[in-house]
Amino acid sequence: MDTHKSAGIRTRYAPSPTGLQHIGGVRTALFNYLFARSAGGAFILRLEDTDRSRSDPAFTQNLYDTFNWLGIRWDEGPDTGGPRGPYIQSGRFSLYRQYAHDLAGQGGAYYCFCGNERLEALRKAQEAAAREGGALQSGYDRRCRDLPLNEAKRRAAGGDPYTIRLKIPLQDPEGAALFTQYTDRLLGTITWKNEDINPDPVLLKSDGFPTYHLANVVDDHLMGISHVLRAQEWLPSTPLHTILYRAFGWDPPEFCHLPMVMGQDGKKLSKRHGAASVDAFRRQGYLPEALINYVALLGASYEEGKDIYTLQELTEHFSLEKLNKAPAVFDYKRLEWYNGQYLRRKTGAELAALALPFGEGLFKDSPPGPEETAAFIAAMPLIKERINLLAEIPEKIGYLFTEPPLPPPAEFFPKKSDLAQTLRLLRIGRDLVRPLATAAEDEAESLVKERAAQAGVKLGDLLMPLRVAVTGARISPPLFGSLRILGPDRALARVDRALAALSGAG
């Protein structure tokens, strides 16, 4: 495969399918996507499924579903046969193997014959020495590093199990310690003493599978990745990757380690803080637009005083200069606020289409019949301003589908009213049910105002017992709209039930 360096900015999201997609991963993907799009470059998806025991097709499916739902599209990938499919590392193992052997042949890596047993014993000895106050030594002791290549190749060819390890250069020819330096686009210049880097990490495992480091570096090079935007947990791997690029004779890409995403307790965002998987947010009725908008602000600042950004606008605004160094704090309330904003921008029909799957528990039949569906759609404008999550809908409009339990008498009383006065108000209200349930929206208000004036009662007082009788609660979505949806007969039956209960309560 040719490299694509000439093609300008190329970024990638390179998840391992070992868990559900969560907020942190989506933020990484989104920033890579926005950066590529903002520069007219390409954004690719690469599945890093080198750890076969932890990779699971269910997680791969979750990845596709998540990005499909979010509307974040990647650009290419021949491995799946589709032009937009992702690259999949498990289909490329022989390639990595070849690169590892080539590097060993050139002296940038070496064959290691230390088996698990020896490595385990080494680790134990190191731990014991550290406990006794010795120098803290950890990792591989580089025993096979200086085996002559011919001998190593002969042993390997003879069937001795081996790994291939990166040979991290420690000293220059004069014996001076070597350092590795790279410039992170956000964090600045970072220098590591080579001796402090994980000693000679494995590139190719004894089963012939590549490690993350090898496959990641080979692919970033072959795929012409110009910028690696990734989570800060990968920061310790970057000096090692830089050495590996140089060992191959390749230029490393530019690195940018993204600000951490924390929970409000200052700890790394995780399940402990509540929903962190995108799936869980989706099931609660978050909209993809809201999630994208909020996540794009985690660790980046765009325009002062502007909160709402579409994906398209974000593409126009995004640049690496707008990233913050400080960790971002994930605020569930803020995300909920965003969701409310996006819900209010939907038309009634759009909202109904999104909300219908959340209404299942409300309906007699599944799928709901035409009447129930019509009632559900009609209810959307009544609640649009009152919800932040689609999952709140059933609880808000349940009374339109099932008669609510009858509240105790005192619930019906307007402020400062007694039972007798409440009964009087509800009787007046009863006479209004039919006209209100059939009146046009703009006539209802004047109708009740007139009647309240005639009876010499406050409008609010007149409506309170009627509201409680019809909706089952003192606070509810708009009463007139509710009456129109219920229709006069069902509404009257509820009022009569309340009247009977109140009459018997005295």
Residue closest to 32 by CA, chosen among 17, 14, 59: 14
Nearest approach, Cβ of residue 237 and ligand GLU (Å):
7
Nearest approach, Cβ of residue 273 and ligand GLU (Å):
20
Residue closest to 147 by CA, chosen among 158, 156, 139, 138: 156
Neighbour-count burial for 123-158, b at 16+ CB within 10 Å, e otherwise:
eeebeeeeeeeeeeeeebbbebbeeeeeebbebbee
Instruction: By CB under 6 A, tell whether 216 contacts ligand GLU.
Output: yes
The count of other CB atoms within 10 Å of the CB of residue 498 is: 26
* Site pattern 46..75 for ligand GLU (x: CB under 6 A): --x---------------------------
The structure tokens listed for 339 are 């969701």
Instruction: By CB under 6 A, tell whether 16 contacts ligand GLU.
Output: yes
Out of 64, 209, 234, 332, the only residue in the binding site for ligand GLU (CB under 6 A) is 234
Listed in order, strand segments (DSSP E) in 17-157 are 42-47, 87-88, 109-112
Out of 15, 86, 253, 409, the only residue in the binding site for ligand GLU (CB under 6 A) is 15
Nearest approach, Cβ of residue 253 and ligand GLU (Å):
10
Q: What angle is formed at CA 220 by the lines to CA 215 and CA 225, rounded to 5 degrees?
A: 170
Q: What angle is formed at CA 59 by the lines to CA 48 and CA 327, rounded to 5 degrees?
A: 70
Residues 327-386 that bind ligand GLU (CB under 6 A): none
Nearest approach, Cβ of residue 18 and ligand GLU (Å):
7
Question: CA 261, 263, 267, 273 torsion: positive or negative?
Answer: negative
Nearer to ligand GLU, 48 or 461 (CB): 48
What's the chain's Rg over C-alpha atoms?
A: 33
The count of other CB atoms within 10 Å of the CB of residue 500 is: 11
Nearer to ligand GLU, 30 or 468 (CB): 30
Instruction: By CB under 6 A, tell whether 90 contacts ligand GLU.
Output: no
Burial tier of 219 (Cβ tally within 10 Å: 0-12, 13-18, 19+): buried
Nearer to ligand GLU, 42 or 389 (CB): 42
Nearest approach, Cβ of residue 15 and ligand GLU (Å):
5
The number of helix segments (H) and strand segments (E) in the chain equals 19, 12
The structure tokens listed for 152 are 């190593």
The structure tokens listed for 457 are 């009662």
Backbone angles phi, psi at 45, to 5 degrees: -115, 135
Contact of 110 with 169, CB cutoff 8 Å: no
Among 124, 271, 364, 449, the one annotated catalytic = 271
458 among known catalytic residues: no
Contacts of 125 by beta carbon, 8 Å cutoff, 6+ apart = none
- Total residues at interface with ligand GLU (CB under 6 A): 8
Out of 10, 11, 14, 74, the only residue in the binding site for ligand GLU (CB under 6 A) is 14
Out of 22, 92, 230, 484, the only residue in the binding site for ligand GLU (CB under 6 A) is 230
Site stretch for ligand GLU (CB under 6 A), options 13-21, 148-156, 342-350, 411-419:
13-21
Site stretch for ligand GLU (CB under 6 A), options 10-18, 63-71, 285-293, 337-345:
10-18
Contact of 399 with 408, CB cutoff 8 Å: no
Nearest approach, Cβ of residue 32 and ligand GLU (Å):
9
Nearest approach, Cβ of residue 264 and ligand GLU (Å):
24
Nearer to ligand GLU, 277 or 339 (CB): 277
Nearer to ligand GLU, 145 or 268 (CB): 268
Residues of this chain that interact with ligand GLU (CB under 6 A) are 14-16, 48, 212, 216, 230, 234
Catalytic residues: 271
